[in-house]
Amino acid sequence: MEKLSGQKVVVLGATGMVATPVVHSLAVDNEVWGVARFHNKAAKAAIEEAGVKTVTLDLADPDVSRLPTDVDYVVNLAVTHSNDFAEALRANAESLGLIMRHFRSAKAFLHCSSTGVYAPNGSHPMRESDPLGDNHRVLLPTYSISKIAAESVARLSARLYELPTIIARLNVPYGDAVAWPSMHLEAISTGQPIMVLPGEPSYYSPIHSDDIIRQIPLLLGAAAVPAVTVNWAGPDTVSVQEWCAYLGSLVGKEPIIEETDMALPSVATDTTFMNELIGPAQVHWREGMARMVARSHPETRS
C-alpha cells in the first residue's frame, strides 16, 4: 500500500513534531481525525484549517468515548515526557490498551515506538532482536521504560482484539518541523554548546519527514497479528558531531561541542528488516539537512 486515499484515519499526538507534517499530508486525500491535548491553540487551528477534525484528549486519562469507532487506520504518534513514572506509564502504555480496544475494528494500527528502547551498545547498529534497556535515563528518566511497556501493551492488544498492528521504532526524525537536528542548528547559530558523550562520536540514523510521510502507508500495509516490530530509520548512520559540523558550514558558524556524561548515547540503527519489509528511506542526511537549513535560514541561500 503506497498511498492512503479516501480513508478515515485517526492520528494520535496530532500536533507533535513528527505528526504535524503527517496530518497535513494525510488530510489532502483522507478524512483525518487529529487527537491531542491541544495546549497550543495555534497548532490546533492550523491543522483544522487543513481540514483535520480535532478531538481534545489527554492520554493520561483518556475519554475514548469521544473518538469515532468506524475508522480505517490509526497512527499513534503520541508520547508523554512526564518525569513521574506512574503518569508516564499510564499515558504511554496503559492508555494504549484502551485506545486499541476502542479501535479494534480498524484495518491496521501503527504504534510509533523509539530506538531509545535499546540498551546502549556504542556504535553497534541496533537490530530488532537486540537487548532493550534504559537508554534515555540521563535526560528523560521515564522515556525508555514507558516506551518498552507500551510495546508490550501493543503486542498484547493486537492479539486480544485481532487488530493488525505494527510497532515502528523511530530513530531521529527531522525535517521542516522542530526536531533534534533543528535544535542543534539553532544552537550553532546562536553560539550555544551542543552536549555529547565523551569518547567516540554519538551515532544515529536520522530519518526525514518526507520518508516518514511516504512510509506510513507502507507500514500500515505491513501490520499483522501477532504485531510486527521494525526499526524505522534513515538510510545513513551519522554522528551528532558530523551533522553539526555540516550544519555549521551551511550557516557559517563553528559548532561548540561539549563532552559531558549528561548526554544521550549512540543509537545507530540496523535497517535490514525495514528495507525488506517496506523498502529503504530515500532522503540522505546531507540533502535533508541542507533543505532544513534553507527553510529555516533562507539568508544562507546563495
The answer to whether residues 17 and 40 belong to one domain is yes
**Residue 58 C-alpha from the chain's centroid:** 19
Residues 227/228/234/235 CA torsion (nearest 10 deg): -170
The answer to whether residues 186 and 167 belong to one domain is no
The CATH code of the domain that includes 250 is 3.90.25.10
Structural domain contains residue 253: yes
Structural domain contains residue 131: yes
**Residue 107 C-alpha from the chain's centroid:** 21
Bond from prior residue into 181 cis (ω within 30 degrees of 0): no
Q: Alpha-carbon distance 234 to 174, whole Å?
A: 10
Please report the pLDDT score of residue 62 as a whole number.
Answer: 86
Structural domain contains residue 92: yes
The answer to whether residues 15 and 126 belong to one domain is yes
The answer to whether residues 255 and 296 belong to one domain is yes
Cell readout for 132 is: 532493550
The answer to whether residues 83 and 118 belong to one domain is yes
The CATH code of the domain that includes 150 is 3.40.50.720
Cell readout for 248 is: 555549521
Place of cell 532522503: 283
The answer to whether residues 31 and 19 belong to one domain is yes
Closest CA to 58 of 45, 68, 67, 49: 67
Name the domain count of the chain. 2
Please report the pLDDT score of residue 157 as a whole number.
Answer: 98
**Residue 286: CB atoms within 10 Å:** 14
Cα angle for residues 118, 121, 122 (degrees, 5° grid): 130
pLDDT means over runs of 10, the chain (302 residues): 93 95 97 95 95 93 90 96 94 96 98 98 96 94 97 98 98 91 96 95 97 98 98 98 97 96 96 98 97 86 54
Question: What residue type is 204 in one-letter code?
Answer: Y
- How does DSSP classify residue 94? I
At 26 the three-state DSSP class reads helix
Please report the pLDDT score of residue 301 as a whole number.
Answer: 59
At 205 the three-state DSSP class reads coil
The answer to whether residues 217 and 151 belong to one domain is yes
Please report the pLDDT score of residue 219 as a whole number.
Answer: 98
The answer to whether residues 114 and 159 belong to one domain is yes
Structural domain contains residue 290: yes
Place of cell 469521544: 66
Residues 6+ apart with CB under 8 A from 43: 15, 20
Please report the pLDDT score of residue 299 as a whole number.
Answer: 76
Q: Alpha-carbon distance 210 to 194, whole Å?
A: 26
Domain that holds residue 261: 178-204+235-269+283-300
The answer to whether residues 112 and 165 belong to one domain is yes
The answer to whether residues 91 and 115 belong to one domain is yes
> What does each C-alpha distance from 167 to 55, 148, 190, 249 come to in angstroms?
24, 11, 37, 37
Place of cell 555540516: 246
Structural domain contains residue 68: yes
